[in-house]
Amino acid sequence: MMRGLRMSFLSFTLAAGAIAAVPPVEVQIAGAVMAAPAELREGAAVLGYSPSGERVMLRQGSNEMFCLADDPARENFNAACYHKDLDPFMARGRELTAQKITGEKRNEIRYDEIKAGKLKMPSGMRMLYVLTGTRFDAASGTVENPYLRWVIYAPYATAASTGFSTKPAEGAPWLMLEGSPGAHIMISPPRK
């Protein structure tokens, strides 16, 4: 498989020239699943980009992981994988972002939709993995300057219900968006 990735990456690099282009499907998949734990990569569903830059399903999944390929329009590498039960929430976020609705307004809309029963959010904890770096090197199957952080979604969790601090501290888990449908525990290791 790595030989095929090398050839696809070489073809992509030569064809891309000086303009940003969408990597081949197998390169997008290989980069996207790097965010997931190794044992969950093979069966993960992957959402990526068509040659025209539209978001498309690149691979159907056979396990609980759903991965997002790196956006070729962005300068640095960013891939994410999350439990499939979070997909309605995440997909709605992508829709709102496409409408140029971001930040607090995006959260407010999704939270209102969850409270109204229009948007499904899991009742228990679900995992999100976010891997960033300088770029994905398809030839070696590695991310340059990788930084992996973990996010545990715990809808409506509070400091009192979990014992987590709500204050960010480098390398320590903390609770973000306390009490909201999007409450989550952030775990960000110190950067090297």
Render the burial of 100-128: b for 16+ CB within 10 Å, e for the rest.
Answer: eeeeeebbebbbebbeeeebebeeeebbb
Give burial (CB, 10 Å; 0-12/13-18/19+) of 63. Answer: middle
pTM for the predicted model, two decimal places: 0.86
Q: Residue 56 corresponds to which tokens in the numbers above?
A: 């498309």
Collapsed DSSP state (helix, strand, coil) of residue 174 = strand
Let me know the angle formed at the C-alpha of 118 by 114 and 120, rounded to the nearest 5 degrees: 60
Boundaries of every domain in the chain:
2-187
Percent of the chain with pLDDT over 70: 90
Segment 105-162, tens digit of pLDDT? 999 999 999 999 999 999 899 999 999 999 999 899 999 999 999 999 999 999 999 9
